[in-house]
Each structure stands twice: as C-alpha cells, then as structure tokens.
C-alpha cells in the first residue's frame, strides 16, 4: 500500500499547488496550502509504516504548526479585508513593482 499512498499524496499535492496558482480568493488559496500540508502528512504516515514511528511524530508537529499558521494567516486576511474590502489577491499590489 506504500506506493499507492505515495501516489495519492503526490496527486493531492499537485492539486493543492494548482489551487494556489489558479485561484485568486485568498481564503481558498489558504485552503489549498492546507491541502498541500495534508498531502505531505499522508506521505509521512505512509513511510512511517515502513521506517519507524518518527514519521507519525513529525505529522503531529506539522499539524501543530498548521494550526498556528491558520490562526495567524486568517488574522492577516481579516486585517487586509478591513483595509481593502476584498480578499481577491489581485488587489494587494503594494509590494509589487
């Protein structure tokens, strides 16, 4: 089942990448980043079935970091929305040259 799980993880990661690149809605881009994190977690768990329990520990840490990242990222999105009244990233061009 290892090879199948790794393929599934690769497919989910590429779907997440496509979502980040295609969508312009900041919240959905954020959701797609979570999808990428989950794809990596899946490959960690699949490999931990063969290589030892450490893979599951790393997934534990990745989940904690993902929770912290979601909290801070959504706070940034709220802050941006109050300024621009939109979450479409095409409007956020202050750092663009």
Partner 1 sequence: MADIFFFIFAAMAVGGGVGVVLQKNPIGSLLFMVGTLASIAGIYVLLEAHFLAAIQIMVYAGAIMVLFLFVIMLLNLGHDYRRDFRFGLGMFVAFAISGAIAGLLVRQFGGAEANPIYAHFPGPEGMDQLLREEGVIGAIATPLFTDYVVAFELTGILLLVALVGAIAIAKRKV
Rule CB under 8 A: which of 26-55 touch partner 1?
27-28, 30-32, 34-35, 38, 41-42, 45-54
Q: Which helix (H) or strand (E) holds 56?
A: helix 54-84
**Could you tell me the end-to-end alpha-carbon distance of the chain, in angstroms, rounded to an integer?**
48
Nearer to partner 1, 50 or 97 (CB): 50
- Inter-residue contact 55 to 48 (CB < 8 Å): yes
Site for partner 1 in 60-89 (CB under 8 A): 60-61, 63-72, 74-79, 81-83, 87-88
Q: How far is the CB of 43 from partner 1 (least distance, A)?
A: 8
Site for partner 1 in 2-21 (CB under 8 A): 2-19, 21
Q: How far is the CB of 96 from partner 1 (least distance, A)?
A: 15
Burial letters for 63-90: b for 16+ Cβ neighbours within 10 Å, e otherwise? eeeeeeeeeebeeeeeebeeeeeebeee
């Amino acid at each position: 089942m290892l090879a199948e799980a790794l393929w599934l993880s690769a497919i989910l990661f590429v779907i997440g990448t496509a979502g980040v690149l295609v969508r312009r809605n900041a919240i959905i881009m954020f959701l797609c980043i979570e999808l990428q994190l989950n794809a990596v977690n899946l490959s960690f768990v699949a490999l931990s079935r063969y290589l030892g329990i450490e893979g599951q520990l790393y997934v534990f840490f990745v989940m904690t970091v993902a929770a912290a990242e979601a909290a801070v990222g959504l706070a940034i999105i709220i802050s941006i929305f109050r300024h621009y009244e939109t979450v479409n990233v095409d409007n956020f061009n202050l750092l663009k040259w």
